Structure 1
Amino acid sequence: MNAKIERHEFADRLTLADKLARDVASKLDAAIKARGKATIAVSGGGTPKAMFAVLAEQEIDWSKVTVTLVDERWVDTDSDRSNARMVAEHLFHHESHTASFVPLFDRAHKDSVDDALDDVGARIDALGRPFDVVLLGMGGDGHTASFFPGGDNLAAALDPNGTRTVISMRAEGAGEPRITLTLPRVLDTRALYLHIEGDDKKRVLEQAEKGGDFPIAAVLKQDRVPLDVYWAP
């Protein structure tokens, strides 16, 4: 079976950012009202920056929200390659500055991502299950999270029966070594979003849906959680 996919297409990226941010905020607000807290895992890169700016302005009780990352480059937060740094610069403003943040980079093991996996996994597990929201992006090569084509741990990361929370990843297209939530942990969420922009990425997504050999296909083919795809040209 394939995921139940709901598509949301917009004429421009600012409209998408506004609609997605408000939808995510409503999910977080509902979680807070139902359970007293909310957890969200977000992706890095340039695509979500405008959406983060809108999300930061949403009037929910951010002091009860915990934010973590779907994946991270194994670089310290002072690097302009750091997803944690990007989130701090674009999301934690206005109303959202009181949210808690759980990083994936572990400075105690800065020289070895593999040595950090147990500690980082325990840190994420302590947030509880499931996430309330997971926000994915996608690269032009069809990777999502750090599920890169040709990645050294790609098969393990995509194993639907895998038990690890996080795994390391090295790939030609990844640049630095990475740490990423595994596919089962990504799918362990009440709401799952894929945010993509541009005609090129739309074509890659369509190819993956038709059986193309792209890592994003693992998200499209799973049947654990519905997927909302937000796209603008």
Structure 2
Amino acid sequence: MHEPSVPASVSWRRHDEADALASALAAAVAAALRAAIDARGRVSLALSGGTTPVRFFEALSREVLAWERVVVTLVDERWVPSGHERSNAALVRAHLLQREAVAARFVPLHRDAAEPEAALADVSRDLADLLPLDVVVLGMGLDGHTASYFPDGEGLEAALDAGTHAIVAAVRAPAAGEPRITLTLTVLASAREVHLHIEGEAKRAVFERDGDAGAVLPIHRVLGHLRVPLETWWCP
């Protein structure tokens, strides 16, 4: 594993309840997108799925900005059809790509292929023009995974190889359920702005847990390679 030359720091943004947290994170992401649009014209935003970001997506969808200049994609995706209840793309379409954000362009990670490995080249081509990502919003599980970097994952080391030129990787893990496709660490490490959205005392304890050299949590491996400070948004 290649060590980073400039490790990122962590800034905590605490709020007392989930709605306030979601609104504040949405305002911060919208501000970053506006600044990026002013600087570069077209911008890219990569989002995580799960249940935690629903309030954030809905708050962000109400932010007024030049959404027609924003390209939205995902940090990772379950290999399920786009209309499936566990699809991150379906979550984004239902809760973000509405209201003000309906004008954004969306680049999903799922393709019409039986396995994620068969779609890696197509997805990589679709994402290449979006890099480096302007804003990334990560989540984290109680096992310390972020993106689809599950600690017991088959394909984990390839996805977390900071020296790879790959844009996406396939990961399979018992805890993941379905096979997954995920952005690689190289892509996350090059992002211009990175946020982590977590809720609950248990997740903060996981994030702050010290691990020995042989058991570094995936979220900590990501943190060790970011070139920018990690903005961590949390409520108890």
User: TM-score range, shorter-chain basis?
Assistant: over 0.9
Q: Separation in 1 of the partners of 2:201 and 2:212?
A: 17
* Aligned-pair CA distance for 1:40: 0.3
Provide closer, same or farther for how the CA distance between residues 159 and 98 of structure 1 changes in structure 2, counting only shifts above 3 A.
Answer: same
Structure 1: which amino acid aligns with 2:71? T
Tell whether 2:99 aligns with 1:94. Answer: yes
* Aligned-pair CA distance for 1:220: 2.1
8 Å CA contact 1:209–1:220 kept in 2: the answer is no
Corresponding residue for 2:146?
A: 144
SS in 1 for 2:120: helix
8 Å CA contact 2:81–2:87 kept in 1: the answer is yes
1:5-44 pair list within 5 angstroms: 5-44=10-49
- So what's the TM-score if we normalise by structure 2? 0.94
1:175-216 Cα offsets, whole Å, 9 max, x none, are: 000000001111221100010001110110011578653111
Q: Separation in 2 of the partners of 1:166 and 1:7?
A: 29
Provide closer, same or farther for how the CA distance between residues 209 and 149 of structure 1 changes in structure 2, counting only shifts above 3 A.
Answer: closer
Superposition RMSD on alpha carbons, in Å? 1.4
Q: Separation in 1 of the partners of 2:140 and 2:208?
A: 13
* Gapped regions of structure 2 (runs ≥ 5): 1-5
Corresponding residue for 1:56?
A: 61
Provide closer, same or farther for how the CA distance between residues 86 and 227 of structure 1 changes in structure 2, counting only shifts above 3 A.
Answer: same
* Aligned-pair CA distance for 1:222: 2.0
SS in 2 for 1:23: helix
Corresponding residue for 2:205?
A: 203
Q: Separation in 1 of the partners of 2:143 and 2:25?
A: 24
Q: Separation in 1 of the partners of 2:58 and 2:107?
A: 19
Corresponding residue for 2:3?
A: none
Q: Separation in 2 of the partners of 1:60 and 1:226?
A: 24
Q: Separation in 2 of the partners of 1:3 and 1:225?
A: 5
- So what's the TM-score if we normalise by structure 1? 0.95
Q: Separation in 2 of the partners of 1:223 and 1:13?
A: 26
Corresponding residue for 1:188?
A: 190
Percent identity, aligned pairs only, is 46
* Aligned-pair CA distance for 1:156: 1.1
* Aligned-pair CA distance for 1:65: 0.5
8 Å CA contact 1:3–1:219 kept in 2: the answer is no
Structure 1: which amino acid aligns with 2:207? L
8 Å CA contact 1:158–1:183 kept in 2: the answer is yes
8 Å CA contact 2:188–2:226 kept in 1: the answer is no
Q: Separation in 2 of the partners of 1:28 and 1:209?
A: 35
Structure 2: which amino acid aligns with 1:228? E
